[in-house]
Amino acid sequence: MIKINNLSKIFRTDLIETHALRQINLQVNEGEFAALTGPSGSGKSTLLNVLGTLESFDEGDYLLDGRSVKGLSDRELSALRNEKIGFIFQGFNLIKDFSLFDNIELPLRYRGFSSAERKRRVEHALETVGLAARRDYHPSQLSGGQQQRVAIARAIAGEPRILLADEPTGNLDSLMARQVMELLEKINQQGCTILMVTHDPDQARRANRHIQIVDGQLNDATLYEPLIAAGA
C-alpha cells in the first residue's frame, strides 16, 4: 500500500543542511496498524508528513497504492490527500468557529460530495466516535479527548485508505488516551491502515507493528516483524 524507496529529505537554510530522512526504505501493507517511534528530532514526524504529502522529498520515490506521488501537481496531490489519506494531529486542528458537523464535513466538501452524501457520512462518522448527539456543539464545548474523537471522525468520514496519526494522544490524559487508542484499534479492525507516530512505548506495543527511526534512518532489522506477535 505504502512503499518508499531510498527516500531522503533535507532541510536547507542559508547556513546548514539537515538530513531529516536518509535513504529510507519502507513498506506498509494494507490493514496494518504501525507505530512509528523514535527520539525527538529523529525524523518521525517528517516521515509522516512526507507520507501524507504535506512535505516534499528530495531523493528516492514514494508509491501510494502503486502510484508514485513524485511529480504530481498540486491538484493531484490535494485529491490524493482528500481521498486516500486521513490525518489525525496531536493538536486536533479543529476549526473553533465550526460546529462538529461542519468540521467533519469540511474535507467532504473538497471531494465534491452532494449535501445528502456529506450528511450521511458525517453522521456515520459521529456515531463511530460516539458523538452523534453533539453534532451541533463547537470544539470549545468538548474535552480534549472528545475533540480528538471529532478529529478522528473527520479523518475517517471520507473512508480513506490510510490514517496518519501524529502523536494523537500527546495532549490527552491517560484515560482519554486509552479511549482514543481503542477507537483507533476499532477503526483498524474495520480495515483501515494506520500509521501512528508516538512517544509512548505502551501505545507502540498496542500496534501490530513497531517501526523505529533514529537520525533519519530506519535502523532496526526487525522492522517488519509484528512485535505483539513476538510477545515484545
Partner 1 sequence: MEAIIHNLKLSWFSIKRAPLPYALTLLILSLGLGTFFSNATLYYWMNRDPIPEKSQTLFMARINSLPGDCTDCLEPSRVMSYMDMQKMSGSGITSAEAAMFSSDAYAKTLENQQATPAKVALRITQRDFFALFNVPFLYGEAWPDNKARMEVVISKNTAVKFFGRIDVVGQDMLLDDQLFKVIGVLDDWSMLPRLYDVNGRRSAEPTEDIYMPLETAYDLAIQSNTQNSFTDVDWDGNIATYPHMARTNFANMLQFWVQLDGPEKIQQYQQFLKNMVADEKAAGRHPRPEGNRLDNILDVQKAMRATNDQLDAFALVASLFLLVCVVNASHLSLNRYMANQYEFSLRRALGASRWQLQGQILADVFVSSALAFVAALLFARLGLWTINALLPGTRALASWDWQMLAVMAVFVSLVSYLVTLYPALKTSFSPLNQQLKQ
| Cβ-contact 226, 34 below 8 angstroms | no
Under rule CB under 8 A, residue 87 binds partner 1:
yes
Q: What is the DSSP letter of 207?
A: S
Residue 93 C-beta: closest distance to partner 1, Å: 5
CA–CA separation, 123 and 117 (whole Å): 10
Q: How far is the CB of 59 from partner 1 (least distance, A)?
A: 19
User: Which helix (H) or strand (E) is 203 found in, with range?
Assistant: helix 201-206
Residue 22 backbone zone (phi > 0: left; psi -120 to 50: alpha; other: beta): beta
- Examine residue 141 and tell whether it contacts partner 1 (CB under 8 A): no
> Which stretches within 143-198 are classed as H helix?
144-157, 174-189
Instruction: Work out how close the CB of 46 gets to partner 1 at its nearest, in angstroms, rounded to a whole number.
Output: 8
Q: Which stretch binds partner 1 (CB under 8 A): 18-26, 76-84, 134-142, 211-219?
A: 76-84
Closer CB to partner 1, 110 or 224, in the complex: 110
Under a CB-based contact definition with an 8 Å cutoff, are residues 164 and 88 in contact?
Answer: yes
Please select the residue that binds partner 1; options are 18, 110, 127, 186, rule is CB under 8 A. 110
Size of the residue set binding partner 1 (CB under 8 A): 30
CA 158 → CA 85, 120, 127, 153, 194, distances in Å?
Answer: 9, 11, 14, 9, 15
Smallest distance, Å, CB 75 to partner 1? 5
Integer Cα distance of 159 and 178 in angstroms: 23
Question: Considering beta carbons, is residue 91 or 232 the nearer one to partner 1?
Answer: 91
Report how far residue 227's alpha carbon sits from residue 232's, in angstroms, rounded to the nearest whole number.
Answer: 5
Among 115, 141, 174, 190, binds partner 1 (CB under 8 A): 115
Residues 145-174 as x/- pattern, contact with partner 1 by CB under 8 A = ---------x---x-------x--------
Contact with partner 1 (CB under 8 A) among 38, 43, 52, 145: 52
Chosen residue from 8, 82, 99, 217 binding partner 1 by CB under 8 A: 82
Q: Select the span of 33-41, 92-100, 182-190, 204-212 touching partner 1 (CB under 8 A).
A: 92-100
